[in-house]
Amino acid sequence: MDFEFAPEQLAFVEEVEKFLDENDDPEVFDVTRENMAQIVDTPKRRAFMAKLGERGWLGMTWPKDVGGSEGEGVYEYLLNEALARRGGPQIGKGVGIIGKTVIAHGNDRLKGEFLPKILRNEVEFAVGYSEPNAGSDAASMQLKATKVDGGWLLNGQKTWTTSAHFAEWYWVGARTDPDAPKHHGISLFLVPLDQPNITVKAIWTMGDERTNEVYLDDVFVPDDYVVGELNKGFQYISEALDLERFTLFTYSPIKQRLDLLTDYVRDAVRDGEPLKSDPVVRQRIAQLHTQAEVARVLGLKFVAASAKGGAPPTSEASEYKLYATEYSRRLADATMDLTGPGSQLRVHTAEAPLVGRAESTYRYTVIDTIGGGASEIQKNIIARRKLGLPKNF
């Protein structure tokens, strides 16, 4: 594959960068939030994303008959990376997870109601897969869906539901056939979150970001709001998770942090000697730059594989997510080590090395290795689907 971008693709990047310069606002962009920037909701952020919609940049890869432009996936990738590089909101769940799944499997009512709103950024979604006893193993979910006249009643608990405190709709998986094998008998529902029978409780992470527990008590969902076929929800979830693993963990903020560390090492002095003269430090920086290129290329492999059409490439998504997030954590460790004791000062501390960026990065990167399926899950996926190893190897 060609790892360089075509002239028209680079021209698109220039157009995006110009747009971002014209709309620069510290309330919209904050690089110190790392990849969590995309889960923050403010009126200014919604207005900014609506401007992206006006330019036709949301749903670029969608079919034309649902409002998209059938563009190549690389343009969506370039847009998302540019947004991430500024610490801004990204195209995320609505366009990718929900939109693409509804296009592929949703009924006409869901398409007509949600797709136009997603393209105009008029709706926010929360995604409910994880439960107290079903974290990375989404197939073990036990939220109960009971058939009643005209629809379903949902009862149970979800956890780690980011965005549930501000989203309007809940994209939630529930077990519709308790007697089926665990990878079957799960269905997907779209549920409005402004119901009295839904309780959202905050969980604060070590990265200073809010996620949530969500309790559903006899929540009624009409039949029309079942996504796709009954009992095939896990198949749809698996496809959507491949998109999540790629789009939510962008490369550009990682490269930005590597460049900051490299600049620091280039100029720093320790015990009267330039830090860059230490051979151990030089070796570590060289390794980090080499590994960063591996992460970048693995991302481009996913983009290239997606361009072939069909379902998102599972093993490539897991390879990128595993390598990029674990590399990001190694980079955070190295930054704490090389910048010394001052790296423990909180972010935005003026006298701290890198203005305190190191300590916030260190906390955030732990979360990245868990979200979208923990590293151990990604290793299992690669082992089975790429290497052909048995489940009990």
Query: For position 345, which CATH number holds?
Result: 1.20.140.10
The answer to whether residue 222 is domain-embedded is yes
The answer to whether residue 15 is domain-embedded is yes
6-15, 177-186, 223-232, 311-320: lowest mean pLDDT where?
311-320
CATH of the domain at 195: 2.40.110.10
The answer to whether residue 253 is domain-embedded is yes
Based on the fold, state whether residues 257 and 381 are members of the same structural domain.
yes
Q: Mean pLDDT score of the chain, rounded to an integer? A: 91
Based on the fold, state whether residues 202 and 280 are members of the same structural domain.
no
Based on the fold, state whether residues 155 and 255 are members of the same structural domain.
no
Based on the fold, state whether residues 368 and 267 are members of the same structural domain.
yes
Which residue segment(s) compose the domain that 180 sits in?
126-229
Based on the fold, state whether residues 186 and 303 are members of the same structural domain.
no
Based on the fold, state whether residues 204 and 260 are members of the same structural domain.
no
**CA proximity to 172, closest of 227, 95, 92:** 227
Based on the fold, state whether residues 225 and 253 are members of the same structural domain.
no
Average pLDDT of the segment spanning 218-232: 97
Average pLDDT of the segment spanning 89-104: 89
The answer to whether residue 131 is domain-embedded is yes
Average pLDDT of the segment spanning 72-77: 89
Which tens digits make up the pLDDT trace of 6-41? Answer: 999 999 999 999 999 999 999 899 888 776 656 678
The answer to whether residue 372 is domain-embedded is yes
- The more confident residue out of 204 and 34 is 204
Please tell me the predicted confidence (pLDDT) of residue 244. Answer: 67
| Count of the separate structural domains present in the chain | 3
If you count DSSP H runs as helices and E runs as strands, how many of each does the chain have, helices first?
12, 10
- Residue 257: its H or E element: helix 252-267
Cα gap 234→129, rounded to integer Å: 10
Beta bridge partners of 200: 214
Based on the fold, state whether residues 276 and 380 are members of the same structural domain.
yes
Task: With 0.75 as the threshold, say if the pTM is over it.
Answer: yes
User: Which stretches of 275-367 are assigned E, i.e. beta strand?
Assistant: none
CATH of the domain at 25: 1.10.540.10
Asked whether residue 324 carries a pLDDT value surpassing 60, the answer given is yes
Based on the fold, state whether residues 60 and 171 are members of the same structural domain.
no
Domain boundary among 199, 229, 259: 229
Please tell me the predicted confidence (pLDDT) of residue 206. Answer: 85
Please tell me the predicted confidence (pLDDT) of residue 303. Answer: 86
Return the axis-axis angle of helices 314-339 and 279-306, rounded to nearest 10°: 160
DSSP string of 181-193, one letter each residue? -TTSSEEEEEEES
**CA proximity to 213, closest of 222, 204, 224, 221:** 204
Q: How far separated are the first and last CA of the chain, in Å rounded? A: 32
Based on the fold, state whether residues 198 and 293 are members of the same structural domain.
no
The answer to whether residue 240 is domain-embedded is no
Based on the fold, state whether residues 382 and 277 are members of the same structural domain.
yes
Based on the fold, state whether residues 255 and 353 are members of the same structural domain.
yes
The answer to whether residue 145 is domain-embedded is yes
HSE, side-chain direction, 13 A CA sphere, residue 390: 2
The answer to whether residue 289 is domain-embedded is yes
Asked whether residue 158 carries a pLDDT value surpassing 70, the answer given is yes
